[in-house]
Structure 1
Amino acid sequence: MKIISCIQAALVVASFSSVHAAPVSDPKGSGFSIPVYNNPQFAPNATKQVVRAWHKFNKLATSSRIGHVDVGTIPFIDDGNDLEYYASITVGTPGQTFKLDFDTGSSDLWFPYTGCGSACKGKTIYDPTKSSTYKKDGRPWSIQYGDGSTSSGILASDTISLGTLVIKDQTIDLAKTISTSFQNGPIDGLLGLGFDSITTVQGTKTPVDNLITQGLITDPVFGVFLGKASLGGGGEYVFGGYNKDKVGGTLTTIPVDNSQGFWGITVDGLSAGGKSVGKFNGILDTGTTLLLLTNDVASTLAASLGATDNNDGTYTVPCDANGLVDLVFSIGSAEFKVPKEDLVFQDNGKGACIAGFGYGNLPFAILGDVFLKNNYVVFNQKVPQVQIAPLAGL
């Protein structure tokens, strides 16, 4: 999860002839789009991103077709130097609109409701009394974040709409309190795209679970495109398929280890400027900004680039990317690149820059947005597996 700054999202309906209903060669289906914008005034904090990611994954480290819609496409808001991507969904009948961070590194769907106090000031507040499809549950939930604060509340269920995809009786986590991480910025909450084994309250189903079981998508997949602010920003999720126009080559199929509820893959090798710096297991996480490597791999990479360790999970590099080199990830039978320009994340105000990579004191890497905004990924929940290709146009 990441802290962001206020931007208004809007819903625009569109169709895509190039949207595929599965990772195959024939186009199928249509979708809808939410435009993506940047907030150029937001100053991201790399150290907070590392701490937040560590707390997010530390637990793992220690332990008939009537009304059927084949494909739904949701374009995204790209906020603050690619710090976070979010979109609007509606909840209830009639719909109440919320801006949510779509996060493959968690599995709960939560947002504030009328039981939340001053901490939710400025947020969109869900009012269950205004929804004819609201159903009370009442079980408690709670999530703790890296800064020690929590989001907590009670469970309920209601109809949610991801554009034209309408899910009935979706479990929703209604927040009475929200983490300080969310009190500033445009997002109202999170929509988790991890596996249901890591929902806060065991036995609850994720939105993707319900898209599949309610027959709203034919194929149990979603394609993810995260745009770069330097190229106009943007982004989209395609539920039930993927966008052919975003695939810049062949999709490579890679098995996923979901035993801990995450999208885990094996990176067979990482090289910098042709020099090997190691191999590792990693988690594909749209909810983490940076590329967080295992400590040993990060140290080797930093040495090869002449980066300085800030002793807080981040590194300092020159702001001129010409002195850096591209990273190449060997995954499955293919190679995927992170260009040297994306190894420069933010100016530290001292004549140098914070790197786009760091370390999280974890036994696995977190392949966050620095990796994902350079590559197109199709997530298959049932197999489970992912298919990855270089992003078209880069």
Structure 2
Amino acid sequence: MKITLCVAVIVASLAAVDARLVPHAADFALHPSSATQTAPAKALLRVPLKTNPHFKRNARAAALKAMNKYKMFQSDSFRNNLASTGTVNLTDYENDLLYYGEITIGTPGQTVKLDFDTGSSDLWFASTLCARCIRKSRYDSNKSSTYHKDGRPWHITYGDGTSSSGICGTDDVTIGGLTIKNQTIEMANKISSGFITDPSDGILGLGFNKIVTVSGVKTPVDNMISQGLISEPIFSVFLGKGSNGGGGEYLFGGINHSKFRGTLATVPVDNSRGFWTVAVGSGSVGSSTISHFSGIIDTGSTLLMLPDLQASQVAKALNAIDNEDGTYTISCNVADLHDLKLNIGGNDYIVPAADLIFEQIGRNKCMAAFAYSGSNSVGILGDTFLKNNYVVFQQEVPPSVQIAAI
């Protein structure tokens, strides 16, 4: 995945962490499906995830980077005053590497594939203004009757060196059947080479509005809340494992209790820098102790990026070899490895030994699903962690997350 310049600056101040190094799950977007109506008091919006079968696995790049069928007959007020839910069965590509979702922009709706990313806060996508975006699904503002010109420029640079830029506008944005009115959108007219081959058409940021590129812009989740589209200011994330049949889901406005076991535990979030940051207490790998650190919960990063000290502690316990590029080589034999336990809010959350293996690169040689961030204190809890734990994001004051093992 990638990380915004804002993230890079923050991490640099803490010791130059490059969180969004992951090409990941570059990524998420909504996939509309048949919907079920519920009462307004229980308004929910499920946004399932869809994997991209064309993206190629690359651990090094990863370390450096979810009633729609007949909505045409429904009025806007009807759709927006009823809960719209939709679930889709998904498959993961190459061991849970990539998920993306589809949303529609404008009237009539134009579909784009987006990376749903809790590590950034901008909503941008390829547009017909972009000559280099011919392989993308490009939004055309001239074809939308609800588009309005804004004109403000925007530019985003990610930690892996990729970038995009363009101009702002406003239009209606439909996610899982619910329509956000007059959402500020960022239409790309330039994208860097890294984005040309990227499977998604852009990114939908789910971070806090503090890190939006254009000052004063409200994020899609901000607008879902203010426009009364969801009954609770939360969204929940489930990432399935390919080994268990795959699948994935974003649920806006509620919690899907069928997706996890045990009890959700509430953990305070430090959003002072615009990210979903939690305190990670001392953990362990086998009999070895892992020191505490701050972790940014990031759906847009494939790997578990640990601060340098903690990464070396995990590597030593697993007899991993430092590849000197942020990644590690480990044994492909699960019996040679140990589960990783991370303590968050006083509870242990486990990444099984099998999920610490990213991919095989040789005879009993595998790339690890963890890497080091280049920071002394900040790590990134990417999909290596998230596909083992259900997370509910609550952004209103005081912000928090709820976590339960899947």
CA contact (8 A) 2:30 2:176 kept: no
For 1:248, the aligned partner's letter is R
| Equivalent position SS for 1:85 | coil
Aligned-partner Cα distance in 2 for 1:376–1:16 = 24
CA contact (8 A) 1:71 1:217 kept: no
Tell me what 1:386 maps to.
Answer: 401
Select 1:227's aligned residue among 230, 240, 264: 240
Tell me what 1:292 maps to.
Answer: 305
Alignment of 1:12 onto 2:28: no
CA contact (8 A) 2:322 2:328 kept: yes
For 2:103, the aligned partner's letter is I
Tell me what 1:56 maps to.
Answer: none
| Equivalent position SS for 2:289 | strand
Q: Show CA shifts across 1:160-205 (max 9, x none).
A: 0001211001011100112323212431110000000000111101
Q: Which runs of 5 or more structure 1 residues have no equivalent in the other structure? A: 22-27, 53-64
Tell me what 1:370 maps to.
Answer: 384
Q: Which runs of 5 or more structure 2 residues have no equivalent in the other structure? A: 2-22, 66-76
Deviation at 1:84, TM superposition (A): 2.4
Tell me what 1:157 maps to.
Answer: 170
Tell me what 1:341 maps to.
Answer: 354
Tell me what 1:256 maps to.
Answer: 269
Q: Show CA shifts across 1:104-157 (max 9, x none).
A: 00000000111101x212100100011010011111111113443421100111
TM-score (norm 2): 0.85
Deviation at 1:42, TM superposition (A): 4.7
Tell me what 1:102 maps to.
Answer: 116
Distance 1:7 1:217, change over 3 A: closer
CA contact (8 A) 1:285 1:368 kept: yes
For 2:133, the aligned partner's letter is C
Aligned-partner Cα distance in 1 for 2:383–2:307 = 16
Tell me what 2:4 maps to.
Answer: none
Alignment of 1:44 onto 2:57: yes
Aligned-partner Cα distance in 2 for 1:202–1:234 = 36
Length, aligned pairs only: 370
Considering only aligned residues, what root-mean-square deviation do their CA atoms show, in Å? 2.6
Tell me what 1:209 maps to.
Answer: 222
Alignment of 1:82 onto 2:96: yes
TM-score (norm 1): 0.87
Q: Show CA shifts across 1:313-352 (max 9, x none).
A: 1000011222101111111131111000000001224641
Aligned-partner Cα distance in 2 for 1:141–1:291 = 30
Tell me what 1:24 maps to.
Answer: none
Deviation at 1:96, TM superposition (A): 0.2
Instruction: Write out aligned runs for 1:345-364 (5 A).
Output: 345-349=358-362, 351-362=364-375, 363-364=377-378
Q: Show CA shifts across 1:240-282 (max 9, x none).
A: 0110101211000000000000000001121112431211111
Select 1:245's aligned residue among 258, 277, 289: 258
| Equivalent position SS for 2:99 | strand
Instruction: Write out aligned runs for 1:121-132 (5 A).
Output: 121-132=134-145
Aligned-partner Cα distance in 1 for 2:168–2:204 = 14
For 2:395, the aligned partner's letter is Q
CA contact (8 A) 1:32 1:164 kept: no
Alignment of 1:200 onto 2:213: yes
Aligned-partner Cα distance in 2 for 1:137–1:167 = 17
For 2:156, the aligned partner's letter is I
CA contact (8 A) 2:43 2:230 kept: no
Distance 1:3 1:368, change over 3 A: closer
